[in-house]
Amino acid sequence: MSVLVGKKAPVFNSKAVVNGGEIIENFSLLQYIGKQYVVFYFYPADFTFVCPTEIIAFQERISEFQSRNVAIVGASTDSPFSHWKWLQTAQNNGGIEGVKYPLVSDQNLQISKAYDVLAGAEEYDEEGNETFEGEPQAYRGLFLIDKNGIVRHQVVNDMPLGRSVDETLRIIDALQFTEEYGEVCPANWKKGEKAMKATQEGVADYLSHKH
């Protein structure tokens, strides 16, 4: 598993569905550089079970991300037409109608490979022909990318394990706090709580006030 934290987020151009129903040809995260933070997350597949709960959960909290100047972008290895069809399907019928943020199509698996979240692996037979072993789907990877295009946080869950929108917002708050004030955020820190200076004295002061 690659650790991308501290590195430039891998660049890509791919088809995506935006605004809940418009397929565009060349979607890239570069459009956010210098303007917004990005939560870029992968999910295994359209028309599944855990995936819609996550996709809809991010949409339901979209105003909280917008207030923090954060764009949400999802991705899977499905085709853009699969994304489009799912977005037109009512939520009470297994769909994700009402989701407005972009869903990227990684049909050629290159984005999932670049972010190292692709399940399965490419193998070669005795004749040297390339085959793919396993399901060509992405694990539940999530990457927080800052306005300079640097990955500042990543988490990767196995397919049955849904992610926490609350934790994603907490991490964004912590990153933005450290950028603004230069202090560091201790365990379980939440917005509005005391942070600390990155010194021995800072730790001691924080722990003395905590207890």
Q: Give the amino acid at 119.
A: A
Band of residue 30 on the pLDDT scale cut at 50, 70, 90: very high
d(CA 68, CA 168): 12
89-122: burial string, b at 16+ Cβ within 10 Å, e else: eeeeeebbeebebbbbbbbebebbebbbbbeeee
Domain boundary assignment for the chain? 14-161, 164-211
Return the CATH number of 14-161, one of 3.30.420.40, 2.60.40.10, 3.40.30.10, 3.10.310.70. 3.40.30.10
Average pLDDT over residues 178-187: 89
- Is the pLDDT at 126 greater than 80, yes or no? no
- Is the pLDDT at 189 greater than 80, yes or no? yes
Band of residue 1 on the pLDDT scale cut at 50, 70, 90: low
pTM beyond 0.85: yes
Mind telling me the catalytic residues?
A: 51
Query: Model confidence over 128-172: pLDDT tens digits?
Result: 776 667 778 999 999 999 999 999 999 999 999 999 999 999 999
d(CA 143, CA 168): 10
Residue 150 per-residue DSSP state? B
Query: Model confidence over 46-64: pLDDT tens digits?
Result: 999 999 999 999 999 999 9
Query: Model confidence over 71-124: pLDDT tens digits?
Result: 999 999 999 999 999 999 999 999 999 999 999 999 999 999 999 999 976 677
Burial class for 128, CB neighbours closer than 10 Å (0-12, 13-18, 19+)? exposed
18 pairs with which residues across the strands?
A: 22
Rounded to 5, what percent of the chain is helix, strand, coil?
30, 25, 45
Residue with more model confidence, 208 or 50: 50
